[in-house]
Amino acid sequence: MEFTKLLVSTENNICTIKINNPSALNALDTSILKELEIAIDLVENNSEILVLIITGEGRAFVAGADISEMVNLNYDEGKAFGAFGTRVFRKIETLSKPVIAAVNGFALGGGCELAMACDIRIASENAKFGQPEVDLGIIPGFSATYRLPKLVGVGKAKELIFTGSTIGATEAYEIGLVNMVVKPEELMEVTFKMAGRIAAKAPIAVKNAKLAIEKGLVCEAEDAFENENNLFGSCFSTQDQKDGMSAFLNKVKPKFNNR
């Protein structure tokens, strides 16, 4: 698949998707969202890929959605555009492999929303986060009003959304929006190091852990416990479990084969 606004590469079981429209600060338009959906489907269906990294080219991660594309939308068109972005970001959130956002710069509006759809967020010191949609006469879309309160708490989410404030990487870390903050020149090195650590673990166990966490966030406690028990039990039908426990007992490093 040839992409025009994404740079996609895979190395050591780690795929990197880089939004590549720097002249527009990687603003999300329909064409980028379509390419991103295709790329996510390819990652999902490639058993050799164990971890996905999403980042941006230039000085922005994603500086928002493309306002020039949205300015003349009517109700139905606006709703459809929001639903499309929500669908793509939900695919990222529910991808069976862990997704790390390497936030290299501006992550505003759609960019903050893209980062929140990822499992882990690592930010450069010069990253900026915000939901400035109220300055445009709209509300955050792509499920931002759902994810942001879960990450930073209801009160802080309302503050950020109602004021449209932009915050730096340090404050984003302090409120729980990002997992860590690193020097700009170290961003990709640190991200790949974390991705490599995850890729070295038992892939089916990592997948099941992600499924258990995601289910637990949206269901009642008893259902979450039952789901976790099922996923826990299913691990014992894998060769990875046998190899991992055998390696532990024999005090050697495990080698997993994703089966």
Mean pLDDT by 10 residues, the chain (259 residues): 93 97 94 97 97 96 92 95 96 97 97 98 98 96 96 98 98 98 98 97 95 91 94 95 94 90
Residue 127, pLDDT score: 98
CATH superfamily of 6-199: 2-enoyl-CoA Hydratase; Chain A, domain 1 (3.90.226.10)
Contact (CB, 8 A) for 114 and 101? yes
Nearest CA to 100 out of 139, 64, 61 is that of 61
Contact (CB, 8 A) for 193 and 100? no
Q: Rounded to an integer, what distance in angstroms lies between the CA atom of residue 105 and that of residue 65? A: 15
CA 17 to chain centre: 11
Domain 203-249 carries which CATH code? 1.10.12.10
Residue 257, pLDDT score: 87
| Consecutive H or E run containing 107 | strand 106-108
Q: Rounded to an integer, what distance in angstroms lies between the CA atom of residue 228 and that of residue 245? A: 20
From the number of C-beta atoms within 10 Å of its C-beta (0-12, 13-18, 19+), residue 151 rates as middle
Q: Which residues are part of the catalytic machinery? A: 113, 133
Which residues have a Cβ under 8 Å from the Cβ of 91 and sit 6 or more positions away?
Answer: 37, 40, 41, 44
Owner of token pair 């950020």: 160
| Consecutive H or E run containing 36 | helix 30-44
Residue 1, pLDDT score: 72
Q: What is the CA radius of gyration of the chain?
A: 19
**Where exactly are the structural domains of the chain?**
6-199, 203-249
